[in-house]
Amino acid sequence: MRREKGAMCTPVLQFTNCRILRGRKLLREDLWVRGGRILDPERLFFEERLVADEQRDCGGCILAPGFIDVQINGGFGVDFSQATEDVGSGVALVARRLLPHGVTSFCPTLVTSPPEVYHKEEGVGWDACLRYLCHVLPQIPVKSGGPHGAGVLGVHLEGPFISREKRGAHPEAHLRSFEANAFHDVLATYGPLDNVRIVTLAPELGRSHEVIQALTARGICVSLGHSVANLRAAEEAVQSGATFITHLFNAMLPFHHRDPGIVGLLTSDRLPPGRHIFYGMISDGMHTNPAALRIAHRAHPQGLVLVTDAVPALGLGNGRHTLGQQEVEVDGLTAYVAGTKTLSGSIAPMDVCIRHFLQATGFPGGEHWECGQGPTHRKFTAGDEDSKQADGLEPRVTGTEATAPKRRAFTPYEPWPGACGIAGLGRLQCRVGPGGCVSAPRPAAGTGEAQGDPGLWG
């Protein structure tokens, strides 16, 4: 069928010979896309009387929503916690380099830093301003993704309101607690929160519940982490509005049968009705034992969100690198705070984490892809169901051409506009196509990455 004169000239692209992630299953279907938006093929054929302008044979690859990384500290030499004259160009570089790994959106993460790194404090002299050159948060706005790079969902602030005992790689000198003014202390530390999407804090800190309520009222997700909180304190934090756990099992009290701590939230019966708890896990083969991955997933599969917690050394190899105010040493597949054996983030990209998760859990179907698509496809923020789409991290579907009732949110298993990623389970050789889709040829059996253990990286 031909287009009528004057009709929209945006070409229709049809992906064929692909497997589509839908309802936790990989189904062999075709997918139609126009201008980065998924089309209803029946409406395209019967109402618009059009066919595809171009067909692309995916060679049996998986076609899935793009991966979402809600905890990434930098990569490829870019440190999000380092104040420079042009933070934006560094974020853009990382966004561009993430696409070949199937990541189509992410939350740049800042580790514990002095207040003048986040923003310019009142009364701070020019010497301090010159030392930090420019301030980070105002330079990382929310930005849509596309062929130019992955989208920025907002900043994840990890610290400085965390436990000293469980600070991990965070510099102790810059840790803070909530003083008498509580939320005012947060604003004094971070400055304006316009570009902030997630804040990680320790719920056992005094007045933390006031802060959690104030943050969630502004549509900011509160995540619990770097904490010595017991289960009761964690449950009270969720009742106040917290909805996420930062890198489960790491930097928190270990599970104990009489008080499971934050880990116990996965099966707690004291969460508010309708409240969903999600938890990040670093599935890089170093941070979390495969048995722990299986335990968490089997206890609460709907809440698991894979994160990389990648550091600026991602993609650079062995040597010394920075992470905010600290120096990090990379040795093989592990990053440590220099001179210690304290783990300092990961150097594994998201596609590697998903492969390792698949290997560790043994799931043959589509569930492992869901875990790499972040919490944005699922209920993530506090509040009633109708407000979550507007105030949370869920993708807006306004203008989508797929058949959907008004206000419908796409499920974790359905493709959604502008976030398609095609990836094989072996070596990824990716390219960016129309609408920001990431595609890769089906890998040969047994292929792996050029570096590292083939069992992990391939």
Is-contact 18 62, C-beta < 8 A? yes
- What separation in angstroms does the CA of 6 have from each of 2, 52, 209, 299, 399? 12, 18, 58, 55, 21
Question: Closest by alpha carbon to 182, among 137, 222, 216, 213?
Answer: 213
Write down the residue that tokens 């930005």 correspond to.
Answer: 143
CA angle in degrees (0–180, nearest 5) for 73-76-78: 55
**Rounded to 5 degrees, what angle do the CA atoms 353, 145, 56 make?**
80
Q: Which of 398, 417, 418 minimizes the C-alpha distance to 407?
A: 398
Task: Compute the distance between CA of residue 110 and CA of residue 140 in angstroms, rounded to an integer.
Answer: 11
User: What DSSP string runs through 144-212?
Assistant: --BTTBPEE--EEEE-SSS-STT-TTS-GGG-----TTTHHHHHHHH---TTEEEEEE-TTSTTHHHHH
Cβ partners under 8 Å of residue 410, min gap 6? 377, 395, 397, 404, 416
Neighbours of 165 (CB within 10 A): 11
Residue from 309, 351, 386, 453 carrying the catalytic annotation? 309
Residues 6+ apart with CB under 8 A from 80: 72, 73, 74, 87, 90, 91, 94, 108, 109, 110, 136, 140, 312
Q: What is the Cα–Cα distance from 188 to 364, expressed in whole angstroms?
A: 49
To which H or E segment does residue 409 belong? none
Asked about 284 being catalytic, the answer comes back as: no
333 close to 284: Cβ distance less than 8 angstroms: yes
User: How far is residue 1's CA from residue 51's CA, in Å, rounded to a whole number?
Assistant: 6
CB 169 within 8 A of CB 345: yes
Q: Which residues are catalytic?
A: 309
